[in-house]
Each structure stands twice: as structure tokens, then as C-alpha cells.
Amino acid sequence: MRIAGGGHMRDWLALHDRPALVVGAGGLGGASAVSLAAQGARVALVDVDERRLEAVVRAAKEAGGEGTVEPIACDIRSAERCRAVVDEAVRLVGTPQVFLHAVGRNVRRPVLDLGDADWADLLELNLSTAYWLGQQVGRLMVAAGYGRMVFVSSVSGLLAHADHAPYAATKGGLNQLVRVMAREWAASGVTVNAVAPGYIETDLTKDHLDRNGNRETLAGLVPARRLGVPEEVADAVTFLASDRAGFITGQVLYVDGGRVLV
């Protein structure tokens, strides 16, 4: 079967043998790494948790496909370590043509109950690492004249959820960082987009969802009347990382079952 633009359906996304760097091996990053590898990409996967890395490597092998996942254990919370991780990814899989930032943490407390460390820690992990890694990978992609960059944002970057102040601020800032990077690098063949998940069942959200009927309450806020799963976010990431998304840049794609509509 032929499709518009040439090629066969099996290589429709044109990700086979593409070097990719995925930072964050948790639910969304891990699922995205597996999805990219299933499409044939050569993925360097970064996380501070070695057991999480091992689990994703196993999942990628079990999923089949011709791609690979190469683990890199690293705490990325400094500009120097972010740059070193990019260098290591280049050594392992080649200069990244695909980049995904899927790192984030939340502290659910009211503004008046937050300490200075809560603000500083979330700003560094959620937003500063996106800037440091995006800048370093961006240099390589601009020089190469090609790149697909995706950042994991959140519906919290748009909605004013109580008890989410630092998290929401970092995601709103991330959305604007994505837009500026996209504007500056578009002429160099580099696209920069974000996916903004709604309520997804991940390691980050599991403890919260398991308490006080939160899972049922949140599902009731979603027009689709259910929570999402990591693979649904990974599908959006994989599309934005592909050649089929070459004229899409500076966008925030909400993967939320309609949550931001109400």
C-alpha cells in the first residue's frame, strides 16, 4: 500500500535508524522510548533511577521492533550534567535527530504552605533542565539542519489548579520556552513542540490517584470520562518526532480527553 508522500505504511513515520535522546524513563518518557524504539529509532534513555532504566530496556525488547534503547544513568540537575548527558548520547547513538524531555515532579500544597526549597527544586528539575538540555541539543540540530524536539508539558500550564503553583508555573514557562525555541530554529529545519497530558495513570500520579477517591473525582472532570494511559501520550510524541510533523512547530498538543475544554 502506498500513501501520500511516498513510502510504505510500515515506515510511514520515517523513524527507522534515527538517533533519539529521551530524558526521563518514568511513565511517559519510558512509554515514548519504547514507542520510538518500536519504530526503529536508536534511543539513548536518561534517568537517575537505574531500575527504571532497566525496566524500559526490557519493555522495548519485549515490544519488538528494530530499534534499541541504550540506558544512561545520570542526575541531570545541573547545566554541566545536562551537557555531559548530550555528549554521552552522541557517543552511544549518534547526534540526536529526535529529542524528548519528559522530566517533572509536583508538590501538591497551597502557596502559603510552600517553602523556598519547594519552589527552587521544581523550577530546576522541571524547567531549567528543559532549557539546558534543549539548548545543547538545539545547537547540534541547528548545525545539522534537522531536528524534532518534544517537551512534556501539562494541562496545568493552562488551567489554574489549586495546590499546583510551582508545577503550573514551570509548565506555563515551558510552553513559552517551546514557542521561542520553535521561532528561532524553524528556518534551520528544527521543530519544537510540547505534549500536554491531562490526568494520566503514571508513577508520578499513582499515589495521589489512590487516595481519597481522587481517581474517580478526576475522571469525572474529563469529558471522555476516563483517565489516560502513558501509551496515548507516547503516540502523540512519536508523531511529533516524525517526518510527518515537519510543518508543525511551536504547538502545545493537549492529550487530555477534553479536560481543557471544561
Catalytic site residue 146?
Answer: no
pLDDT digits (tens, 9 = 90+) for 57-83: 999 999 988 899 999 999 999 999 999
pLDDT digits (tens, 9 = 90+) for 164-208: 999 999 999 999 999 999 999 999 999 999 999 999 988 767 788
pLDDT digits (tens, 9 = 90+) for 85-124: 999 999 999 999 999 999 999 999 999 999 999 999 999 9
CATH number of 9-261: 3.40.50.720
C-alpha cell at 10: 510500515
Q: Which helix (H) or strand (E) holds 152?
A: strand 147-152
State the catalytic residue, choosing from 131, 146, 167, 199: 167
Report the C-alpha gap between 238 and 255 in whole angstroms. Answer: 13
| Mean pLDDT along residues 29-43 | 97
Residue 109 near residue 141, CB atoms below 8 Å? no
**DSSP H stretches of helix in the chain:** 27-38, 50-63, 79-93, 116-122, 129-144, 165-185, 203-210, 214-219, 230-240
Domain boundaries, the chain: 9-261
